């Protein structure tokens, strides 16, 4: 189901079975450059009667905020009477339960946890308020359904950054079409004090090499090969850029680097990555409507001529019959025949 014009090499596997689980590899080689790369994917196929819990692998949070720990599970098991949800945090190799939900009742443990899930929608998420750096660690969400007594666990790594740390936030990927203007977002924390000046650099990685596409330092900006425009605002910790008239060769992995220099303190640096995918414009569809006849079609000229000839023949025959009937039994000297008159052309429309 892929499309080489859009660099899409996807496939589907129909009637999938549990024994189709495994590690899959997609290899792409382009010629004549003979460039080759590989992507890996782990496929887990579960029976419809099995319970599967889904959580993100890793999440980042800022200290002092309220953060959601998402957890969802399969809704394909029939006959479930009630559900038990338990959240644990692993500290120094020990498990500490921080939340428990069962039979519509919830109980809280050391963290400021709040239930935001909905078992009718197979959602077992919670939020943790006023989260701190010491709350970093490995969390897991355990779901048990009864009376089947089926249990499954989802794991999540939570990293809580201090408010005084430099942390960059960028989206994982950005999609754009050829000829458009792509906005590459990048933000960083605004809680750092004693800043002398800030250095912002954007890079694009091509063939294992870094190409600098933008740089701003001491409020001086320098542009590089592409049509890059600064749309950020350092007062709001926004260091975003745009790329105009983007083309397919502009696709790649971009890196946003922010370095903060402080008075009498070490400098701080963080990096955010963004994958830019550039697609061709979709082909325009033919929007011309097919005309629908609203009345009977007019007869063609050929049909009109044929009808006219038939009418003329019938009229001549009727005239001949009338002459014979009127003149039968009368004797009259035969007059010489008049020369035939030239036939007038018929009206082609009847």
What average pLDDT does this structure show over 83-92?
88
* Of the candidate ranges 67-71, 111-115, 316-320, the one whose mean pLDDT is the lowest: 316-320
Asked if pLDDT for residue 25 goes beyond 60, the answer is yes
Of 236 and 154, the structure prediction assigns the larger pLDDT to 154
Domains of the chain: 53-161 (2.60.40.10), 168-279 (2.60.40.10)
> At 50, which helix (H) or strand (E)?
none
Four-residue CA torsion sign, 335, 336, 341, 343: positive
With CA atoms as reference, report the closest residue to 87 among 102, 98, 71, 74.
98
From residue 263, give the alpha-carbon distance in Å to each of 192, 193, 194, 197, 201.
Answer: 12, 9, 6, 9, 21
> At 349, which helix (H) or strand (E)?
none
Four-residue CA torsion sign, 118, 121, 122, 125: negative
What average pLDDT does this structure show over 25-35?
88
pLDDT tens digits along 40-64: 877 877 766 678 898 888 887 877 7
Four-residue CA torsion sign, 157, 160, 165, 171: positive
* Residue 221 confidence class, pLDDT cut points 50, 70, 90: low
pLDDT at residue 349 in the model: 47
Average pLDDT of the chain to the nearest whole number:
77
pLDDT at residue 94 in the model: 84
* Residue 87 confidence class, pLDDT cut points 50, 70, 90: very high
Asked if pLDDT for residue 72 goes beyond 70, the answer is yes
pLDDT at residue 322 in the model: 52
Asked if pLDDT for residue 92 goes beyond 90, the answer is no
pLDDT tens digits along 166-212: 888 888 888 899 999 999 999 887 777 788 888 999 998 877 778 88
Any idea what the Cα angle at residue 68 is, between residues 47 and 103, rounded to 5°? 60
* Residue 320 confidence class, pLDDT cut points 50, 70, 90: low
pLDDT at residue 85 in the model: 93
What average pLDDT does this structure show over 107-135?
82
Any idea what the Cα angle at residue 144 is, between residues 115 and 159, rounded to 5°? 50
pLDDT at residue 172 in the model: 80
* Residue 66 confidence class, pLDDT cut points 50, 70, 90: confident
pLDDT at residue 286 in the model: 46
Answering whether pTM is above 0.75, one says no
* Residue 280 confidence class, pLDDT cut points 50, 70, 90: confident
């Amino acid at each position: 189901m892929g499309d080489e014009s859009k660099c899409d090499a996807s496939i589907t596997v129909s009637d999938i079975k549990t024994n189709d689980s495994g590690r899959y590899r997609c290899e792409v080689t382009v010629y004549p450059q003979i460039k080759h790369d590989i992507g890996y994917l782990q496929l887990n196929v579960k029976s419809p009667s099995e319970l599967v819990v889904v959580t993100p692998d890793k999440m980042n949070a800022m200290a002092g905020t309220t953060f959601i720990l998402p957890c969802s599970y399969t809704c394909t098991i029939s006959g479930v009477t009630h559900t038990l949800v338990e959240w644990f945090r692993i500290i120094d190799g020990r498990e500490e339960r921080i939340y428990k939900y069962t039979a519509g009742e919830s109980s809280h443990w050391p963290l400021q946890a709040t239930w935001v899930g909905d078992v009718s929608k197979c959602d077992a998420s919670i939020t943790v308020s006023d989260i701190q750096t010491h709350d970093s660690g490995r969390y897991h969400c355990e779901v048990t359904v009864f009376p089947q007594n089926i249990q499954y666990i989802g794991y999540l790594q939570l990293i809580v950054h201090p408010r005084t740390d430099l942390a960059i936030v960028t989206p994982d990927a950005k999609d754009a079409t050829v000829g458009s203007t792509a906005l590459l977002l990048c933000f960083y924390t605004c809680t750092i004090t004693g800043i002398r000046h800030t250095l912002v650099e954007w890079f694009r990685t091509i063939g294992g090499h870094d190409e600098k596409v933008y740089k701003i330092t001491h409020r001086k900006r320098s542009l590089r090969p592409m049509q890059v425009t600064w749309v950020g605002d350092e007062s709001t910790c926004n260091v975003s850029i745009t790329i105009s008239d983007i083309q397919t060769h502009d696709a790649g992995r971009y890196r946003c680097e922010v370095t903060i220099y402080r008075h009498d303190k070490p400098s701080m640096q963080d990096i955010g990555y963004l994958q830019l995918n550039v697609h061709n414009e979709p082909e325009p569809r033919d929007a011309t409507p097919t005309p629908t006849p609203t009345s009977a079609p007019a007869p063609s000229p050929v049909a009109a001529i044929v009808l006219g000839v038939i009418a003329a023949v019938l009229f001549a025959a009727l005239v001949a019959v009338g002459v014979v009937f009127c003149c039968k039994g009368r004797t009259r000297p035969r007059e010489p025949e008049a020369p035939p008159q030239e036939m007038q052309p018929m009206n082609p429309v009847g």
